[in-house]
A and B are shown apart, each in its own frame.
Chain A
Amino acid sequence: MKKWFALLLCLVLMVPAFALAETEITLWTYPIGSWSKSDVVDEIVANFNAVYPDIKVKVEYLDYTSGDDQVTAAIEAGTTPDIIFEGPERLVANWGAAGKMMDISDLWTEETSADIAAAGEAMKGICTAADGNIYLYPLCMTTHCMVIDKAVFEATGAMQYINEDRTWTTEQFQNAMKVLADAGYMPGIVYCGGQGGDQGTRALVYNLYSAQFANAEHTEYTIGSEAGIKGLTLLQQMANDGTIVPDPAIVAGDAIALFANGTTPTCFCWNAALLETNKASLAEGIEPYAVTFPSDDGVPVLDGGIWGFGLFKNDDAAKVDAAKKFIQFVCDDPVQGPKSTYATGYFPTKASFGDIYTGTEKAGNAEYGMFTQYLGDIYQVTPGWATQRTEWWNLLQRVFAGGDVASEVAVYSANVNGK
Chain B
Amino acid sequence: MKGAFLMTKAAKGGTALSRANQRRENIAGYLFMLPSLLFFVGFVIFPMGLCLFNSFFNYTMTDFSFVGLANYKELIADPIFRTALVNTIVIVLVSVPVTCVFSLWVASVIYKMHDRYTSLFRCIFYLPVVTGSVAVTVVWKWMFSPYTGILNYVFRSLGLISKNINWLGSPDYALGCIILILLTTSVGQPIVLYVSALSNVDHSLVEAAEVDGATNLQVFWKIKWPQIMPTTLYILVITTINSFQCFALIQLLTSGGPNNSTQTIMYYIYYNAFKLSRYGYGSAMGVILAAIIAVFSAMQFKLAKSDNG
Partner of B166, one of A72, A247, A387: A247
- A390 in the interface, Cβ–Cβ < 8 Å? yes
Contact A100 B61 (CB under 8 A): yes
Q: Which residues of B contact A249 (CB under 8 A)?
A: 144, 146, 166-169, 174, 253-254, 257-258
A376-412 interface bits toward B, Cβ cutoff 8 Å, 1 = contact, 0 = none: 0000000000110010011001100100000000000
- A11 in the interface, Cβ–Cβ < 8 Å? no
Rounded to whole angstroms, the CA-CA distance of A401 and B254 in the bound complex is 15
Rounded to whole angstroms, the CA-CA distance of A250 and B254 in the bound complex is 8
- Which of chain A's residues 64-106 have a Cβ closer than 8 Å to chain B? 68-69, 72-73, 75-76, 95, 98-100
Q: Which residues of A contact B174 (CB under 8 A)?
A: 249
Nearest opposing residue in chain A for B270, CB measure: A69
Contact A72 B277 (CB under 8 A): yes
Contact B61 A75 (CB under 8 A): yes
Rounded to whole angstroms, the CA-CA distance of A249 and B175 in the bound complex is 12
A248-B258, A249-B166, A394-B257 known; A186+B147 contact, CB < 8 A: yes
Size of B's binding interface in residues, CB under 8 A? 26
Q: Which residues of B contact A308 (CB under 8 A)?
A: none
Question: Nearest chain A CB to B23's CB is how many angstroms away?
Answer: 41
- Which of chain B's residues 229-274 have a Cβ closer than 8 Å to chain A? 253-255, 257-260, 271, 273-274
Contact A401 B147 (CB under 8 A): no
Q: Which residues of B contact A72 (CB under 8 A)?
A: 61, 273-274, 277
Q: Which residues of A contact B275 (CB under 8 A)?
A: 68, 386, 390
- Which of chain A's residues 247-264 have a Cβ closer than 8 Å to chain B? 247-250, 258, 261, 263
A386-B276, A397-B257 known; A247+B146 contact, CB < 8 A: yes
- A194 in the interface, Cβ–Cβ < 8 Å? yes
Contact B257 A248 (CB under 8 A): yes
Q: Which residues of B contact A138 (CB under 8 A)?
A: none
Q: Report the interface size class on chain A.
A: 20 to 34
Q: Which residues of B contact A401 (CB under 8 A)?
A: 171, 258-259
- B279 in the interface, Cβ–Cβ < 8 Å? yes
Rounded to whole angstroms, the CA-CA distance of A390 and B279 in the bound complex is 17
- B148 in the interface, Cβ–Cβ < 8 Å? yes
- Which of chain B's residues 41-72 have a Cβ closer than 8 Å to chain A? 61-62
Q: Which residues of B contact A (CB under 8 A)?
A: 61-62, 144, 146-148, 166-169, 171, 174, 253-255, 257-260, 271, 273-277, 279
Q: Which residues of A contact B (CB under 8 A)?
A: 68-69, 72-73, 75-76, 95, 98-100, 186, 192-194, 247-250, 258, 261, 263, 386-387, 390, 393-394, 397-398, 401
12 contacts between A and B (CB under 8 A): A68-B274, A98-B61, A186-B147, A193-B254, A247-B166, A248-B166, A249-B174, A386-B276, A390-B271, A393-B257, A398-B259, A401-B259
